[in-house]
Structure 1
Amino acid sequence: MRADRLVSLVLLLRQQGRMSATALAEELEVSTRTVLRDVEALSAAGVPVYAERGRHGGFALLPGFRTELTGLNPDEALALLVAGSRRGAQTLGLGSALASAMLKVVDALPDSYRDTAAGVAQRLLIDPETDLLSRRLVADEIPDAVAAEILRAVFTGHKLRIRYATADQPPHWRTVDPVGLVTVRDRGYLLATRSGEDRTYRLSRIQAAEELAEPADRPDRVDLDRAWQERSTRFRSGGDQVTVLVRVDKDRREELVGTAVAVLGEQSDADGRLRIEAAFQDARHAEWALWQLGTRAEALSPQWLRTTLAERAAALAGRYASEAVSEESVPADRVSDG
């Protein structure tokens, strides 16, 4: 870990120029005391890092010093920089490793290409944290220790013991054979087998994990894309799924489709609206999805869903139908002094 940190420190100084101990500590996620010790270690190893005193001082490298990282052309480096802007690495607990790798990618470029690649990368934004309506896209959060154990078991091919919490049951321990990891829209999944049966575990629901010494029972090679498609198909066709026929405005189609498990059919009505047959995970999922669309969508069937939405809307209308509002329920800055 320290060797990686020392390399990252050198690359930061190469690319940023002079940096204070505080700024280096923030970038490397360590204390300023650790930064000072690292600088001393680099100097002892012959790396020409020196300190500048004063208000705008800090640490810097002697002009002309560079690390020997070669082999990337500008297009390859740009592709890596763009890929590195995606949040999948954060989902799998690889955020700090990604940051270190991006420093090395930029430093690998010749001086004549470095500024160009970095500038082009700044013109591309992949998977921002909010959508166009400023709705925050919440990614799964996985403790670093849990992510590290899962990654080791997947990479080394060892069995994995996890404490997993399903949506409707208390958490309990189970031992699985890890196959691979998949990220979808900032959600991470562990593909595994248990007693020979395919299992898919959402990473955010794994509360603890322990890599075991016993080798996992799994094939030497795996087609993760095919495995994911097969499990996705089984998921869409089983469980408590419900099928809903919806009339929706064209400009809200993507919102409806994005929340559905699957789209089973679609056609245009004479008035320009779309008639979509969609599958949802369960009754609660269907109710939630249609409620989000308000008057821009109408559930045509099943009847129980229409009844549920009507009752919910009536209850909300009743809540706001009262003409009198007591002063106690109005914020102080909304009450007139007169």
Structure 2
Amino acid sequence: MRADRLVSLVLLLRRHDRLTADTLARELEVSTRTVLRDIEALSAAGVPVYAERGRHGGFALLPGFRTELTGLNHDEALALLVAESRRGAQAFGLGSALASAMLKVVDALPEHYRDTATGAAERLLLDPDTDLLARRHVAEEIPAAIVAEVRRAVLAGHKLRIDYAAADQDPQRRVVDPIGLVTVRGQGYLLAMRAGTDRTYRLSRISAARELPEPAQRPEHVDLDRVWQERSRRFREGGELVLVAVRVHPARRAELLGTAVQVRTEATEADGWLRLALTFQDRRHAEWAMWQLGADSEVLAPQWLRTGLRDRAEALLAHYRSAP
């Protein structure tokens, strides 16, 4: 809405003192022409925004236009600023809303809290895009219209019609009773019921969604964390999971456990290596995970996995034996 955008524009100028039209357009996700029209609207409404010409010019505000948000102590303000990590909000289609809200909160804080809390927030980082090995987290791309429709049905308590494609299958249309939304490592999930049976749908696999007027058949209150933990447990213990017995060097234990679905048993052998029984989602997942560890691991069972890793290694060796 334009009113929200005008407020965000004012708060951006208050926070950064001076910004160009191009920078404002990027921050607000609109065109430069729209920014210029918004500047004119603010001026007509009496907001003292003015343009500075020259190489380092841009738009700026005269001092003023501040309302203080009282009742927050320093730690509460810091918690709000640290919460600006957008990964979960993006998964639910709320990234731009979070950015706008944080601008309003920062601008409304009493000055002594704003300065100290903002400086402290610069020292804390949650969920960076890459880890220490430069492995990049790839966020799921979900059309905003689909996420918005799913979110509306969840919050309104209405039935939801979706076109959903399970792994390696064509999309199928189904009507579900939405319970809640969960985000895990940037991946969004819809928890729902279908014909009285628990269902979990990955948001990135929903190709179309529409909120229906009929009320959803669901509990009035829900402990979403408990529901997610229960469904996660059932997933780990059922389905087409693959059980693998391995030996692994202790230095690679964390990496292996980070890819497995579940660790069934673990013991330390005489040579210091670890012997584990683990489950993986399927054959492809198991072979990929063990291949990453190279000679720092040895698959003991099943035989098909040992054979698959051997064939991969022989193919790679043959490839590099040939002249470049």
For residue 184 of structure 1, what is the aligned residue in structure 2?
184
CA–CA distance in structure 2, aligned partners of residues 69 and 19 of structure 1: 25
For residue 290 of structure 1, what is the aligned residue in structure 2?
290
For residue 136 of structure 2, what is the aligned residue in structure 1?
136
Q: Which shifted more, 286-295 or 73-82?
A: 73-82
CA–CA distance in structure 2, aligned partners of residues 70 and 53 of structure 1: 37
Matched, 1:37 2:55: no
TM-score (norm 2): 0.95
By how many angstroms is 1:44 displaced? Answer: 2.9
What amino acid is aligned across from residue 4 of structure 1 in structure 2? D
Unaligned runs of 5+ in 2: none
What amino acid is aligned across from residue 214 of structure 1 in structure 2? E
What amino acid is aligned across from residue 243 of structure 2 in structure 1? T
For residue 6 of structure 1, what is the aligned residue in structure 2?
6
What amino acid is aligned across from residue 34 of structure 2 in structure 1? T
Contact kept? 2:77, 2:113, Cα under 8 Å: no
Output aligned runs, 1:150-299, within 5 Å. Answer: 150-299=150-299
Q: Which shifted more, 297-306 or 286-295?
A: 297-306
Map Cα deviations across residues 93-124 of structure 1 (whole Å, 9 max, x no partner): 11111111111221122112212211211111
CA–CA distance in structure 2, aligned partners of residues 122 and 261 of structure 1: 35
Contact kept? 1:82, 1:124, Cα under 8 Å: yes
What amino acid is aligned across from residue 257 of structure 2 in structure 1? V
Q: 1:261 to 1:299 in 2, by over 3 A?
A: same
**Alignment length, in residue pairs?**
324
By how many angstroms is 1:86 displaced? Answer: 4.6
Contact kept? 1:48, 1:65, Cα under 8 Å: no
For residue 329 of structure 1, what is the aligned residue in structure 2?
none
CA–CA distance in structure 1, aligned partners of residues 36 and 68 of structure 2: 24
RMSD across aligned positions (CA): 1.5
TM-score (norm 1): 0.92
CA–CA distance in structure 1, aligned partners of residues 4 and 234 of structure 2: 42
Map Cα deviations across residues 184-236 of structure 1 (whole Å, 9 max, x no partner): 11111100011111000001111111111111111111011111111111111
By how many angstroms is 1:41 displaced? Answer: 2.1
Unaligned runs of 5+ in 1: 326-338
CA–CA distance in structure 2, aligned partners of residues 32 and 225 of structure 1: 43
Q: Provide the secondary structure at the position in 1 that maps to 2:55.
A: coil
Q: Provide the secondary structure at the position in 2 that maps to 1:140.
A: coil
Q: Provide the secondary structure at the position in 2 that maps to 1:135.
A: coil
CA–CA distance in structure 2, aligned partners of residues 128 and 157 of structure 1: 34
What amino acid is aligned across from residue 319 of structure 2 in structure 1? R
What amino acid is aligned across from residue 314 of structure 2 in structure 1? A
Q: Which shifted more, 245-254 or 47-56?
A: 47-56
What amino acid is aligned across from residue 185 of structure 1 in structure 2? R
Q: Which shifted more, 94-103 or 59-68?
A: 59-68
CA–CA distance in structure 2, aligned partners of residues 237 and 149 of structure 1: 32
CA–CA distance in structure 1, aligned partners of residues 211 and 45 of structure 2: 36
Contact kept? 1:86, 1:127, Cα under 8 Å: no
Output aligned runs, 1:299-338, within 5 Å. Answer: 299-322=299-322, 324-325=323-324
For residue 28 of structure 1, what is the aligned residue in structure 2?
28
Contact kept? 1:86, 1:126, Cα under 8 Å: no
By how many angstroms is 1:316 displaced? Answer: 1.6
For residue 335 of structure 1, what is the aligned residue in structure 2?
none
